[in-house]
Amino acid sequence: MPEEFYREALPNGITLLGQRMEGVASAAMTFVARAGSAYDPAAMAGAATVASEWCLRGAGSRDTRALNDALDALGCQHHEGVQSEHIQFSCVQLGRNLAAVMRLYADILRRPTLADNTFDPCRDLIAQDLVGLEDEPARHCNILLRERFFPWPLGRNPYGQSEALQAMTAGALREHLRGHLSPGGAILAVAGEVDWNAFRDLAGGLLGDWKAPSGAPPKTTPGHTGTTHMTKDSAQTHIGLAHKAVPAGDDRYYAAHMAQMVLSGGMSSRLFSEVREKRGLAYHVSTRYYSLHDHAGFFTYAAAPPARAQETFDVTVGELVRLAEGITAEEMHRAVVQLKSALVMQGESTMARVNAMAADWYHTGRLRSLDEISRRIEQTRVEDVLAYLREFPAGDFTVLTLGPEALRTE
């Protein structure tokens, strides 16, 4: 049965997206607005993340506890997150509770209390998260890598910066939100056990007359690329490597995706075989693709005991570069089957669907059915992938290492 998507543009710039899924009882919902950490003013780094926490501390007529209790009573599992370009409010619950949850979210988005007395704890939590990255070197390495790779401030650490957090005030953050948390360009997507007409009418009624100015897109300067080593007395050397890729909205995206699968799609993939299976160098090595609207990269991460870190780095870079020399038909076939299977399995989860829809809309301005994506994957040939790799060769790496000693990275 072909998938059926629903779409409705509200006059204030919010796009409503929906998909009804059969055989599920849950409904997932996500709201993304263009107020991510890249929009944080320089002196207020971390603003978006503090705001994502603060918006849940009371909204409409409810204080923190009443709001929490109301969400809990509906079995609403919610998550607030901040990426470079977006602030995101996501939740999943039984479909029969979706309408009641939507009413609460209208308060959270439009009428957050943002009281002075709840600001300090929110800011302190984010400050603690920032410090806590020191105890999670793998994650820290990847955040720092992204920060250097993308044009500044697009890859900025969403937890901000210590002095900026300390100096941030409730008044300044309220002012910032007034100019940024807005319906312009926002997406509200639902998937699962959803009655679309009812949801569209409800969301339209609750959000349609919301007016607020949008923030100007951040001005960018080139990233701090090249090699950075941060000395840390850790048990492993953590290695992050990034190189340029085509953004997700580009037609060459499928070729990029196939290249990533051949590199890192499973235990038979190039990196896993060469680094872990054949040489026993490291437990973890992988390449992920990550895209902003206009910039994207392949992000490779490996961690190895310091004594084997140099060899791990050399073999990993060798494999990234070698990919352009050729891909076998068997590798392509595996990549196709893996991607298609992953698509079908993702199609079973309401949360995965809703995130895929929001991302699709943001990057391509349309919703692609699983059939369409599947067809495009099948149509991609080895020549397309190799042509892509000539255009976006593995090289000019941004490198970030974290560990006892620096590596030779030329």
Residue list 243-302, contact with another protein (CB under 8 A): 265-269, 272-273, 276-277, 279-284
Can you tell me which of 14, 29, 32, 74 binds another protein, judged by CB under 8 A? 74
Stretch that binds another protein, among 70-78, 81-89, 242-250, 386-394 (CB under 8 A): 70-78
Q: How far is the CB of 68 from another protein (least distance, A)?
A: 4
Under the binding rule (CB under 8 A), the answer on residue 160 touching another protein is no
Residue 27 vs 33, nearer CB to another protein: 27
Residues 343-362 that bind another protein (CB under 8 A): 344-345, 347-351
Residue 3 vs 195, nearer CB to another protein: 3
Per-residue mark of binding to another protein, 76-115 (x: CB under 8 A): xxx-------------xxx---------------------
Under the binding rule (CB under 8 A), the answer on residue 158 touching another protein is no
Per-residue mark of binding to another protein, 306-325 (x: CB under 8 A): --x-----------------
Can you tell me which of 4, 42, 43, 72 binds another protein, judged by CB under 8 A? 72
Under the binding rule (CB under 8 A), the answer on residue 395 touching another protein is no
Can you tell me which of 305, 314, 373, 376 binds another protein, judged by CB under 8 A? 305
Residues 119-148 that bind another protein (CB under 8 A): 120-122, 124-125, 128-129, 131-132, 134-138
CB 279 within 8 A of CB 315: yes
Residue 201 vs 348, nearer CB to another protein: 348
Residues 211-250 that bind another protein (CB under 8 A): 233-236, 238
CA pair distance 297, 149, nearest whole angstrom: 8
**Total residues at interface with another protein (CB under 8 A):** 73
Under the binding rule (CB under 8 A), the answer on residue 45 touching another protein is no
Can you tell me which of 41, 60, 64, 151 binds another protein, judged by CB under 8 A? 64
